[in-house]
Chain A
Amino acid sequence: DAGVIQSPRHEVTEMGQEVTLRCKPISGHNSLFWYRQTMMRGLELLIYFNNNVPIDDSGMPEDRFSAKMPNASFSTLKIQPSEPRDSAVYFCASSMNRGLNTEAFFGQGTRLTVV
Chain B
Amino acid sequence: AQSVTQLDSQVPVFEEAPVELRCNYSSSVSVYLFWYVQYPNQGLQLLLKYLSGSTLVKGINGFEAEFNKSQTSFHLRKPSVHISDTAEYFCAVFSSGSARQLTFGSGTQLTVLP
Which A residues contact B (CB, under 8 angstroms)?
A: 4, 31, 33, 35, 42-43, 45, 48, 50, 55-56, 91, 93, 95, 97, 100, 102-109
Cβ-defined partner of A91 (8 Å) among B32, B43, B107: B43
Q: Which of A42, A93, A95, A105 is B106 in contact with, Cβ under 8 Å?
A: A42
Give the number of chain B interface residues (Cβ < 8 Å).
22
Which listed residue, A4, A50, A91, touches B100 by the CB 8 Å rule? A50
- List 6 contacting pairs A-B, 8 Å CB cutoff, sorted by A: A42-B107, A56-B101, A95-B102, A100-B52, A102-B32, A109-B43
Tell me the minimal C-beta distance from B104 to chain A in angstroms. Answer: 5
Q: Is the CB of A33 within 8 A of B101?
A: yes
Instruction: Say yes or no: is B103 at the interface (Cβ < 8 Å to chain A).
Output: yes
Residues on B with C-beta less than 8 A from A4 are 43
Apart from A33-B101, A45-B103, A106-B45, 12 more pairs, CB < 8 Å: A33-B102, A35-B104, A42-B106, A42-B107, A43-B104, A43-B107, A45-B104, A48-B101, A55-B101, A102-B32, A102-B94, A106-B43
Residue B51, interface by CB 8 Å: yes
In the complex, residue of chain B having the shortest beta-carbon distance to the beta carbon of A42? B106
With most chain B CB atoms within 10 A of its CB, the pick from A42, A102, A106 is: A102
Interface residue? B74 (CB, 8 A)? no
Does A106 lie within 8 Å of B102, measured CB to CB? no
Complex Cα–Cα for A103 and B107 (A): 18
Residues in chain A near residue B99, CB distance under 8 A: 56
- What's the nearest-Cβ distance from chain B to residue A79, in Å? 20
A106 to B99, CA, bound (A): 20
Known A45-B101, A45-B104, A97-B100; contact A103-B34, beta-carbon cutoff 8 A: yes
Q: Does B71 contact A (CB under 8 A)?
A: no
**CB of B59 to closest CB in A, whole Å:** 12
Residues of A within 8 A of B92 (CB): 104
